[in-house]
Structure 1
Amino acid sequence: MDEAGSEGRRNGTTKRPRLEDVAARVGVSTASVSLVLSGVPGPSERTRQRVLRAAAELGYQVDRTASLLAGRRTRLLGVMVDVHSPFHAELVEHLHTAAEEVGYDLVLSTQTRTRDEHTAVETLLAFRSEALILLGPTAPADTLASLDRKAPVIAVGRRIADGELDVVRTADDDGVGQIVDHLVALGHRTIAYVDGGKGVIATDRRRGYRTAMRRHGLDAHIRILHGDNTEAAGERAARHLLDSGDLPTAVVAYNDQCAIGVLATLARAGVAVPGEVSVAGYDDDRLSRLSCFNLTTVSQGAEEQARHAVAAAVERLDQGRTTPREVVLTPHLVVRGTTAAPR
């Protein structure tokens, strides 16, 4: 018997082991312990054996009343969300509304810089989410397909090539193409692009930029700067442009957060937007609409995506649909005050 158990005996008390005690003994999350003790696939065989051994050593017993209650449907839709994304926050708000209208509720699990996608999904399964709505998932298609065999998966915002699961997204390449078309119509030729890094979404938007530039005969002006989905990336890209001494007349950023970083750096350098450089983003999140930014951007239709995602989950859960479906929505350009004709 361990020291804690001995102390309890000496004091005449018996402390019932908790799920947290088993997790601490093994060094894994409570979500992992719950999955193992519930017999749900997911944790590795090694983890499963360690959890079962620790539970036996501690004398942990599953609450049978809770187990009986767990046999009922939860009517919970699990949503994985990036805590740093304003656009994801807006999607979640619309998902709540759409879910409530059809008698479901949401369980949220966040991705952070220290909490990866696997952990976020594992938590959703531990809470017995009946379907998983994953916002911008980055896992390989075969991993998502395997997860779909445990609970219906709806991937939101990302194209999945040959994926056997439901997808709701906008045509990202078309959206960036609309921005380039808009800038070219204003008279711009030197249009730089701040990239979004790795991943399918970034790849599609980068392709949209290249394709649109070539369509307008601007191959020689294609200029892609390293970046990601943060304001810091936009700041770094803008500083690089300033240091190069070769400012383009327009900059298109991977998303609105990145574009705001570009705007802030140009403003500090005394570069007028849109007088000297036009700037556009992507997502049409709440920050882009603030009067201090008034950012030209592309709307992905957050409310429409949310409604399609919830509808897909309900079709899988309540109507028995098994054939995967992809819904591709057309994004639309939102022209505001950060783009104008070049001088």
Structure 2
Amino acid sequence: MDDDGSARHRNGTNKRPRLEDVAARVGLSTASVSLVLRGVPGPSERTRQRVLKAAADLGYQVDRTASLLASRRTRLLGVMVDIHSPFHAELVEHLHTAAEEVGYDLVLSTLTRTRDEHTAVETLLAFRSEALILLGPTAPADTLAAFDRKAPVIAVGRRIVDTGLDVVRTADDDGVGQIVDHLVGLGHRAITYVDGGRGVIATDRRRGYRTAMRRHGLDDHIRVLHGDHTESAGERAARHVLDGGDLPTAVVAFNDQCAIGVLAALARAGVAVPGEVSVVGYDDDTLSRLSCFNLTTVSQSAREQARYAVTAAVERLDQGRTEPREVVLTPRLIVRGTTAEPA
């Protein structure tokens, strides 16, 4: 008989075991049993072991939802995540670890093609998230400030000024500048950039490309192609370059997904990477590390961003910090197999 069946048989009922059943089994008050099951200091070790054994024998499981509803604190951090972003998935993994270490848990709300940021945030608030960690938000600053009046907002990955919000990000313009420096150091001059579309993050990376090209005296070689954060955008940009017949020696993409699209289009056209064209991405997401791509890229330090974001939330919630804080991390170039000296 399975565990649930055994528990029902021992109780003589089909009902789920309750806290009262555990208390009756050990002859203690429900308050004392609750302290043990919540891990609160106080009960003796002998009492703790008796309660845990009784709970296991009865098949009792703590009803987390009921516990949260009974408390004014949920200790939940709401995270808005783009379901299509491998980098966001990695951030969430590190956020979970950082939150668990300080006694918090996460509630996730996703962005999709039909689900916008406002809907995602309202869902997080409905689940009583005490703070909001928003990954790469694109909403206007005043909208984010309105969210912050409902729960502390920590914006991850995006530069935001004069809003009173906490921000954790990397210096995107510097990251793209490192890419251009690397390519110029290899001897490249004709370096094309595939843009990330609208938004502050895309603006910062595009500015980093233009600034670095000018710093190296390559104003005449500046070339920005329309794109966004998807593989299909990278493919379209690469096809545009191929159709034009004037191949650059290097292509820098807004992010790794876009760069993978560039790689796919070049491969189908029989263009060798990095033999004929070097390709660079941005984010150092899990796909970029696969041996089939081995993509030169820029690391945004996902683990560090996650830890700083959780720390910011805890400082707001548990320590009463009210002054906004911006943490700007230095990105790091990761050289792999898609860049080399120009032919």
1:89 paired residue number: 89
Displacement of 1:72: 2.0
Note the C-alpha offset of 1:67.
Answer: 11
Q: 1:95-110 alignment to 2 at 5 Å?
A: 95-110=95-110
Q: How much does 1:113 deviate?
A: 0.5
Partner of 2:180: 180
The residue number in structure 2 matching 1:166 is: 166
Equivalent residue, structure 1, for 2:258: 258
Consecutive unaligned residues in structure 1, runs of 5 or more: 1-64
The offset of 1:147, in angstroms, is 1.0
Matched residue, 1:334: 334
| Preserved contact between residue 79 and residue 133 of structure 2 (Cα < 8 Å) | yes
1:69 Cα deviation (Å)?
A: 2.7
Q: Any idea what the Cα deviations from partners look like across 1:40-86, whole Å, max 9, x if unmatched?
A: xxxxxxxxxxxxxxxxxxxxxxxxx9799355200000000000000
Q: For residue 215 of structure 2, what is the amino acid of its counterpart?
A: R
CA distance in 1, matches of 2:97, 2:71: 26
Indicate the residue corresponding to 1:223 in structure 2. 223
Deviation string, structure 1 residues 173-227 (Cα, Å, up to 9, x no partner): 0000000000000000000000000000000000000000000000000000000
Q: Which residue of 1 aligns with 2:313?
A: 313
Percent identity of the aligned residues?
89
Q: Counterparts in 2 of 1:136-155, with a 5 A limit?
A: 136-155=136-155
Between the aligned partners of 2:152 and 2:118, the Cα distance in structure 1 is: 16
The amino acid of 2:84's aligned partner reads H
Q: CA RMSD in A?
A: 1.3
Cα deviation, residue 95, structure 1: 0.1
C-alpha deviations, 1:144-178, integer Å up to 9, x for none?
A: 11111110000000000222110000000000000
Structure 1: how far apart are the matches of 2:333 and 2:241? 25
Deviations 1:210-261 (A, max 9, x none): 0000000000000000000000000000000000011000000000000000
CA distance in 2, matches of 1:291, 1:66: 47
State the match for 1:304 in structure 2: 304
State how far apart, in whole Å, the 2-side matches of 1:104 and 1:306 are. 13
Any stretches of 5+ residues in structure 2 without a counterpart? 1-64
The corresponding residue for 1:30 is none
Q: Partner residue of 1:49?
A: none
Give secondary structure in 1 for the equivalent of 2:108: strand
The alignment partner of 2:169 has SS state of strand
Q: Distance in 2 between matches of 1:312 and 1:266?
A: 43
- Distance in 2 between residues matched to 1:312 and 1:165, nearest whole Å: 10
Counterpart for residue 210 of structure 2? 210
Secondary structure at the aligned position of 1:321 is classed as coil
Distance 2:68 2:283 in 1: 44
* Cα distance in structure 2, aligned partners of 1:317 and 1:153: 11
Counterparts of 1:180 and 1:67 in 2: how far apart (Å)? Answer: 53
Provide the residue aligned with 2:248 in structure 1.
Answer: 248
Could you tell me which residue of structure 2 aligns to residue 288 of structure 1? 288
Counterpart in the other structure of 1:279: 279
Q: Please name the residue that 2:80 is paired with.
A: 80
2:68·2:74 contact (CA, 8 Å) conserved in 1?
no
- TM-score, normalisation: structure 1: 0.80
How many angstroms apart in 2 are the aligned matches of 1:305 and 1:67?
31
* Structure ID, larger Rg: 2
